[in-house]
Amino acid sequence: MTGATGPGDPPGEFELIARHFAPLAGPGAFGLADDAATLDVPAGQSLVVTKDMLLEGVHFFRHDAPASIAHKALAVNLSDLAAKGAKPLGFLLGFGRTRAQDEAWCAGFASGLARLAKASGCALLGGDTVNAAALTLSVTAFGTVPQGRMVQRQGGEPGDAVYVSGTIGDAALGLALRIAPDVAWGKALTEAQRAFLFDRYLHPQARLALAPALLAHASGAMDVSDGLVGDGDKLASRLGGRFEIGDVPLSPAARAALLAEPALIETILTGGDDYEILGAVAPQEAQAFEQAAREAGVPVTRIGQLGEAGGVRLWCNPDGSERAFTRRSYAHSF
């Protein structure tokens, strides 16, 4: 991890790195004093690499707590590893900071990063620090799977069951409430329900516990980051499929919001930031997958089925009619 300093910069770039980030450095990171790091991949394992960028005003609010921003930047990458059946190994951080990222901010950011990095066994390996006009975070995360076994997005087979973990739409509702705190449907929620939705937006939880079940039983998987409908379209892009809207799992908070404002079903199904796992499982593996997920403590719900090659993608209302959407993916901007 390196950074350049100059006359106009806040002082002490290297000191900030040494003080706040070096304690997070893992083996092969050379204390963040080098421009590169090494990763030794155990014999028989493939390295899985993934990269997500997060920008202020697009993926988080400028004034979000720095620890929350750090959590989200790492968690969304861990979520991709989880969906691929991978075990986290380490990550690189690209840190485009503005003048607002002073020492206190960096301390908070590093503490949030350290907490999740430690909990997920994913050590900081290095990165790059540059001066930017808007806070820009680029994380590259590394994980391992048994050689050649990465769970691919388009690995599903005709007739596979489609499952989703957890509940859908909470983060999108949390974001909507942050943008318009006084919206009518928000008043139908308890304080605890509002706090739950905010937390789902601010602190996505990567479903790492589900990775072994996916590795063992899923034919294809991805995380739901851009909205269930758009991401479901991607999972089913090769084969088509049928998704049952009535089966999509909702939290009590989302149910309460939907009861107050039925039009929110669009936000729930197409809003982003769920970071749940969408997976295809062959019918003969379904029971074993459900049991493995249960043992991992991750709720999974069957919401559809893949079709035949070249098939269409249908989202069906409980009465069997097809549902149209004004947009199928979330725009990631507010």
Q: Residue 65 — φ and ψ, nearest 5°?
A: -60, 135
Residues 235-264 that bind a copy of itself (CB under 8 A): 237
One-letter amino acid identity for 27? P
127 sits in the region (left: phi over 0; alpha: psi -120 to 50; else beta) called: left
Q: Which is nearer to a copy of itself, 70 or 253 (CB)?
A: 70
Of the pair 54, 114, the CB lying nearest a copy of itself is at 54
Kindly identify the residues of this chain, within the stretch 53-92, that bind a copy of itself according to CB under 8 A: 53-55, 57-59, 80-81, 83-84, 86, 92
Identity of the residue, 171 or 256, whose beta carbon is nearer to a copy of itself in the bound complex: 171
Q: b/e map of 46-57 (b: 16 or more CB within 10 Å)?
A: bebbbebbbbbe
Supply φ then ψ for residue 28, to 5 degrees. 90, -5
The one among 20, 21, 24, 52 contacting a copy of itself by CB under 8 A: 52
For a copy of itself, which stretch binds (CB under 8 A), given 44-52, 110-118, 192-200, 249-257? 44-52
As a whole number of angstroms, the distance between CA 202 and CA 63 comes to 12
Cβ proximity to a copy of itself: between 51 and 118 the closer is 51
Judge whether 314 and 321 are in contact, CB under 8 Å. Answer: no
Pick the binder of a copy of itself from 119, 192, 312, 331 (CB under 8 A).
331
| 315 in Cβ contact with 322 (< 8 Å) | yes
Positions in 202-231 near a copy of itself (CB under 8 A): 222-223, 225-226, 230
Q: From 40-48, 110-118, 245-253, 279-287, give the range in contact with a copy of itself by CB under 8 A.
A: 40-48
Between strands 87-97 and 123-131, the pairing is parallel
- Contact pattern for a copy of itself over residues 147 through 176, marking x by CB under 8 A: xx-x-xxx----------------------
Q: Sheet holding 241-244: strands in order across?
A: 218-224, 276-281, 161-165, 300-306, 241-244, 313-316
Measured from the CB atom, is 146 or 283 closer to a copy of itself? 146
Amino acid at 62: R
